[in-house]
Structure 1
Amino acid sequence: MIGRSPGEAGGATVPSPSVRLRDRGLRATSNRRQILHLLGSRDAHLSAAEVYEALRRTGERVDPATVYRTLEVLTEVGLAHAVDGPGPKRYGDGSAPHHHAVCRRCGAVKDLPLGGLADAARHIEELTGLRPDASGAMLFHGLCGACSG
């Protein structure tokens, strides 16, 4: 999540990538560990291409198709989440539920804490019947500061 150091989510310690993978019944392969660590250590949601480039810059030998498949598997088991918007799908760490704000123009994704928007989410549900998804999250669209200025 944005503004946290690796291994922390909402002040709680997050287990290592290896432990998190094994807890979900997955083998803790090097690629899976590296990708999960990368998602948990960045202050942004990344596209599959950005994950591939980040791993390549660190000297990790990985195929783009493997990155995409790994991101999909991590999303399926709840270790990561995907955010659709303009441009490519972006992935983030799934260690703590949160809402998202997505820029309609550039596709930038920002995390929004659940607690800070609890009243707003209840009000939206009262007005529209729309509820947070299975992860407890809602998606908000608008223009980021860079695109609206």
Structure 2
Amino acid sequence: MPDETAPPQDPRALLRRHGLRCTAGRLRLLALLRSSGRHLTPAQICDQLARTGSGRHSTTVYRSLEALTAVGVLHAVPGPGPTRYGVSDEPHHHVVCQRCGHVADLPCAPLADAVVRIEQLTGLHPGTSGSLSFYGLCAICGD
């Protein structure tokens, strides 16, 4: 039974709420993504875990990413380049640089009218995560 008294960002409660085991690897992976404040590739995750002395085999990292994404704890943002993974407690959209692959979050509220218009024009609507991704060039690559 989930711990309803736990803070919403408590990783153990989050994993239990989604029916996942609270393994050390999953907890470290979540802690890394939360503390980084960025979307990271699996290779970046493996490198950073290794630097902290809590490295895991890359297969274990990939399996954890897949399991956490499948239940909605993480979200995956496709490239260019490798998929990047992020964690957030709030629904949001993404902007992705087509050259370097940098991913940034966009809050949903300021884009609500634009999303409605996109739906009207194209029939496209946010997926199960409530997210749309916008591709272009970031400030660094666009110069």
TM-score, length-scaled by structure 2: 0.91
CA-to-aligned-CA distance 1:68-105 (integer Å, 9 cap, x gap)? 11011100011001000110000000422110000111
Structure 1 residues not aligned, in runs of 5+ = 1-12
Please name the residue that 2:87 is paired with: 93
1:24 and 2:14 equivalent? Answer: no
SS at match of 1:44: coil
CA-to-aligned-CA distance 1:30-83 (integer Å, 9 cap, x gap)? 000010111122221000010111111111031111111101110001100100
Q: Distance in 2 between matches of 1:43 and 1:146?
A: 19
Aligned with 1:40 (options 34, 44, 49)? 34
% of aligned pairs identical? 51
Please name the residue that 1:69 is paired with: 63
Residue type at the aligned position of 1:14: P
Instruction: Please give the root-mean-square deviation of Cα atoms over the aligned residues, in Å.
Output: 1.1
TM-score, length-scaled by structure 1: 0.88
Structure 2 residues not aligned, in runs of 5+ = 1-6
Please name the residue that 2:118 is paired with: 124
8 Å Cα contact 2:46/2:55 also seen in 1? no
Q: Distance in 2 between matches of 1:58 and 1:145?
A: 31
Q: Which runs of 4+ in 1 moved over 3 A?
A: none
Q: Distance in 1 between matches of 2:126 and 2:88?
A: 15
Relative to structure 1, the CA distance from residue 14 to residue 41 in structure 2 (aligned partners, 3 Å threshold; closer, same or farther) is farther
8 Å Cα contact 1:21/1:27 also seen in 2? yes
Deviation (angstroms), 1:19? 1.0
Please name the residue that 1:84 is paired with: 78
Q: Distance in 2 between matches of 1:15 and 1:111?
A: 18
